[in-house]
Amino acid sequence: MFAKAALLVALALAAWAVAARPLGARGQRTLYRVQPYDTLWSIAASHYAGDARASVWRIERANRLSSPEISPGEVLRLP
């Protein structure tokens, strides 16, 4: 009896895991072209609510930036 219940729970968890994360699911992709005088901080503050520090980090990570320096004309992915 316990084995049947455990199997049923395992199957339910497996079905939930597949349904909860569809393959290839992604959020909307937003691209931003850096303007003169833009900084990561100003971009983060204008595109995200809350603490800009976390958003700056997310932008750096999404674009694999090694420093916070950006140049006008550069295209950034905004997560």
Q: For domain 2-78, give the CATH number.
A: 3.10.350.10
Q: Which residues of the chain are modeled with pLDDT < 70?
A: 2, 5-27
Cα 65 from Cα 79, distance rounded (Å): 14
Number of Cβ atoms within 10 Å of the Cβ of 43: 20
Beta bridge partners of residue 33, listed in sequence order:
75
pTM: 0.63
pLDDT at 17: 56
Helix/strand/coil for 32: strand
- pLDDT tens, position by position, 37-47: 999 999 999 99
pLDDT at 38: 97
Q: Where are the domains of the chain?
A: 2-78
Encoding tokens for residue 51?
Answer: 């603490």
**β-strand pairing of 30-33 with 75-78:** antiparallel
